[in-house]
Structure 1
Amino acid sequence: MSSFSRNINTIQDYQEVVSALENYVEGLRTGNIEKLQKSFHQDAIMYGHWEGHLIEGDIKNLYDSVERHGSAPDLKAHIDVLHKTTTTALGRIEYEGNAAGKDGIDYHSLLKIKGEWVVISKVFHVYDK
């Protein structure tokens, strides 16, 4: 079989990416920072606007926000894998009802490192209510 017709995007691969993003959503839902940390590379970054302020830099900003706001037991989320290669993926998570009562959208860049999918960057938008 020639290499150009080989399927590099198996259902299992997509399920692994979705699983990493579901872990992130569950960490938000439960307010579990340790669970969130498992979803992100230790040097991950995030950028976006929150209540008129640019949030930028270290993923610790997310952990601080979850610590401040707590769990989001009514969080609803929809996960899409926008694109995937054997080592990279782009995910989109649309959500309603985070711990601060806000709705928004996250775009996550993931990298497969040592067989595990981790988020290396998060870009987000929070909608006005």
Structure 2
Amino acid sequence: MTGKVNVTWRRHHQPFTLPFSSPGLKEHSYLSGTMTASSSRPSPRCLKPIPASQYNEVLDAAAIYIDGMRRGDLAYTSKGFRETATVYGYIEGKFQEGSIGLILDYMKTQKEPPIFTANLSVIGMTPSTAIVKCEMDMVSPEYEYTDFMSLAKVDGKWQIVAKVFHAYLDE
């Protein structure tokens, strides 16, 4: 069927109409807009939004890594990651890839735990997956990082399964 999509974007707060074609779609509410079309099929089932407590669980899981770094505690840092977690990123323009061993090896080379400020935010989340962004400003040693951590809920526990990062070192 063909119809129109009436959407109000949160950013602009201005409604506008888009044409669409979707077989079987009768009416479906999505974010702050409504899609309508004529059809005899039932509307798709809308899932309940993710409760705020789940966002906190995800942030708590990501914070284990951050707190472990702050403490200089390799064992504690490891608890935030799944054993098979992967790490990818750029340091001084060189692409790095490997296991969480890259992070732990870096921590071993540090004489003292780093001093830094970190800001964590959930970018997106489903009932079993999440993406967390971490902006980290290091005071000692002096450099900055942006991390994107992919988390999965495995056996009821949120864990980092992959980390992609960029280190801003004298670029």
Matched, 1:46 2:116: no
| Selected match of 1:119 from 145, 160, 163 | 160
**Alignment map for 1:1-129 (pairs within 5 Å):** 3-7=45-49, 9-69=50-110, 70-72=112-114, 74-97=115-138, 100-129=141-170
What's the secondary structure of 2:79's corresponding residue? helix
Kept in 2: contact 1:28–1:98 (CA 8 A): no
- What TM-score comes out, normalization by structure 2 length? 0.69
Question: How many residue pairs are counted as aligned between the two chains?
Answer: 126
Unaligned runs of 5+ in 1: none
Which consecutive segments of 4 or more residues in structure 1 shift more than 4 A? none
Q: Secondary structure at the match of 2:87?
A: strand
Query: Identity rate of aligned residues, in percent?
Result: 29
Q: Which has the higher strand share?
A: 2
Which residue is equivalent to 2:21?
A: none
Between Structure 1 and Structure 2, the one with more helix by share is 1
| Cα contact 2:92–2:168 (8 A) shared by 1 | no
- If asked which structure has higher relative contact order (CA below 8 Å, sep 6+), I would say 1
Residue 50 of structure 1 deviates from its aligned partner by 1.0
